[in-house]
Structure 1
C-alpha cells in the first residue's frame, strides 16, 4: 500500500490522492514517468517530484522514519507491508498500585517468528539493546501507555523505530474498547483459563511471584505473551480491512497463526481470582 500513497507529500491530501488514482496515477513511478497526464499547480508538482524521488530512496534504504515523519498519523498503517520483516509487536505489564510508583514487571516482544519476554530482576536490562534491532514497533494503546512507560524506565533509550499504535487504526474500523474485547470480535480465542484475566490480575501474579511462587511468573509471562502475539493477527486483520476500502490492486496479507507460547500451570490463575478459596 505504501507505494500507492501520496499523502506524505506536502499539500497532497485524501482528495487529491484519490484524484490521482482516478486518473491512472497509482504509484510513485506513474507520476514521475507520466506527470503530464494530470495538470497540477507548479508548487504541488514540484513537491511531488521532490518527495516521490525521496520516497523511492527512503524505501530502498529502509528509512521507515521518513514515512513516519511525513505521513498523516491515521495513515501510518500503510507502511506495514513494506517493513513487516523488521517489525516487532510489543506489550508491557506493570506492577504497583500507587500511580507514579508503578514499574514495568515484564515486556514481551514478538517479531512474527520468535517471542521473547523480559522480566524485572532477570533480563529486563537487555531490552534496550534488543529493541534497537527493529525499524518498526507495533502496539495497542502504546502511544499513551507502553512507549511512555518504556522511555521513563530506560532514560537513556532513544528509540529509532517508527511506531504504529493499533488502537486508533482499529477504531477506524469501528472496533473500540479494550484489547481483549476486540480480540473476541475478530475471532481470536485465548485459552479458557486466561479469558477472565486482566491487568489487575497481572499485578497480583507479580506479587505472588515476589512471594516465591514461580508458577505466578510463568502465568504473568503467558498473559503478556498473549497480548503481544495477538497484535500480529490484529495488524494483518486491520491492514486487510483497510486496503479493501481502496480501488487499488493491492494484495491481502495472510492471517498469521498463533505462535507457541510458554507453558503454565493454569491453577495459578484460579488462585489469584479466588484468593479465599480452600
Structure 2
C-alpha cells in the first residue's frame, strides 16, 4: 500500500469513508472524482479531498515525508513505508542498562540503502556522527524505539531526533505479533546468522571489551548489526500483512 492509496489524512474522512471510496474503485488519488457518489463524501468533503490531493502530490514529488507524518494518524504511519523504503534508516542501540540518565550507549547500528554502519562508544559514537547518520533518512524504523532507543540517544547525546519514526512494535501488535523482536522474527521465519543474545549478554560483552577482549566487541557489534538488518525484513513483512488486511480486503464491505 502506498501513500497515494490513502484518503484518511483529509478532514472528515475516516476509515469507513475511505473504505467506501475504495469499494467504488477510487483506490488512488488519480481515480478520485468530486462527483463520485459515496456515502459520507458530500461536496465539502470532496473539495477537501481535492485540495489535499493537490498539496500531497507536490509534497510527494518533493519527498517530504514530514508532511505525511503530520497528516496521517499515528497508527497509520506504516502507510509511508513503501514510498520511503529506500530512504528508511533502520537503527538499534545497545546500552549498559535501561536508565538513559545513568547508563550509557555502547553501540548504535544503522541500516539504510543496503549498507550497515555501526558506531562504537569511545571510538566514533558522537552527536555529530549520529546527526550525520540520520540526515539522509526520510523515515526511521525501530522496534520499541519510541520508548527506548530515541529518548536514550536524545538524552545521552543532546540531539533532537525529529525524522518521522515508524516504531514497528505497534503495527506488529496490530497483526497479532506481540512480545520481543526475536520471538516475532522466529514467528515470521526471519533467520539470524548468530545465536540470540540477551540484553544482559550485551552488557557482559561490553564489560569484557572494556577489559581488553576485542572478540567480545566483535560479537556485540555483529549482534547489533543483525538487529538492524532484520528490522528491514520485519518492516517488509508487517507492512505487507497490513496492506492485505486494510487495503486489499477493503472493497468487501464498509467495515469500521
Tell me if both proteins adopt one fold, taking TM over 0.5 as the criterion: yes
SS at match of 1:221: helix
CA distance in 2, matches of 1:57, 1:45: 19
Q: Give the 3 Å change call, closer, same or farther, for CA 132–99 of structure 1 in structure 2.
A: closer
Aligned counterpart in structure 1 of residue 176 of structure 2, from 158, 174, 188 = 174
Aligned counterpart in structure 2 of residue 131 of structure 1, from 134, 142, 145 = 134
CA distance in 1, matches of 2:45, 2:98: 53
Q: Does 1:232 align with 2:235?
A: no
Cα drift, residue 41 of structure 1: 2.6
Are the counterparts in 2 of residues 109 and 115 from structure 1 also a CA contact under 8 Å? yes
1:30-109 paired onto structure 2 within 5 Å: 30-31=31-32, 34-38=33-37, 40-96=41-97, 100-109=101-110
Residue 159 of structure 1 is matched in structure 2 by 161
CA distance in 2, matches of 1:50, 1:24: 20
1:214-225 paired onto structure 2 within 5 Å: 214-225=214-225
Are the counterparts in 2 of residues 90 and 228 from structure 1 also a CA contact under 8 Å? yes
Cα drift, residue 194 of structure 1: 2.0
Q: Does 1:244 align with 2:244?
A: yes
Residue 6 of structure 1 is matched in structure 2 by 7
CA distance in 1, matches of 2:247, 2:160: 39
Cα drift, residue 7 of structure 1: 0.9
Q: Give the 3 Å change call, closer, same or farther, for CA 248–175 of structure 1 in structure 2.
A: closer
CA distance in 1, matches of 2:60, 2:117: 28
Deviations 1:18-62 (A, max 9, x none): 01111121111222xx22122623332232122111111110000
Q: Give the 3 Å change call, closer, same or farther, for CA 53–248 of structure 1 in structure 2.
A: farther
CA distance in 2, matches of 1:59, 1:238: 23
CA distance in 2, matches of 1:19, 1:98: 47
SS at match of 1:189: coil
Cα drift, residue 77 of structure 1: 0.7
CA distance in 2, matches of 1:65, 1:220: 33
Residue 258 of structure 1 is matched in structure 2 by none
The count of residues paired between Structure 1 and Structure 2 equals 244
CA distance in 1, matches of 2:61, 2:100: 44
Are the counterparts in 2 of residues 132 and 159 from structure 1 also a CA contact under 8 Å? no
Deviations 1:69-107 (A, max 9, x none): 111112111111111111111000111476631111110
Q: Which moved more, 1:103-112 or 1:157-166?
A: 157-166
Cα drift, residue 246 of structure 1: 4.1
Deviations 1:103-136 (A, max 9, x none): 1111000114110100111011122222111111
Residue 252 of structure 2 is matched in structure 1 by none
Residue 28 of structure 2 is matched in structure 1 by 27
Q: Does 1:142 align with 2:126?
A: no
Q: Give the 3 Å change call, closer, same or farther, for CA 97–244 of structure 1 in structure 2.
A: closer
Residue 122 of structure 1 is matched in structure 2 by 123
CA distance in 2, matches of 1:20, 1:82: 21
SS at match of 2:35: helix
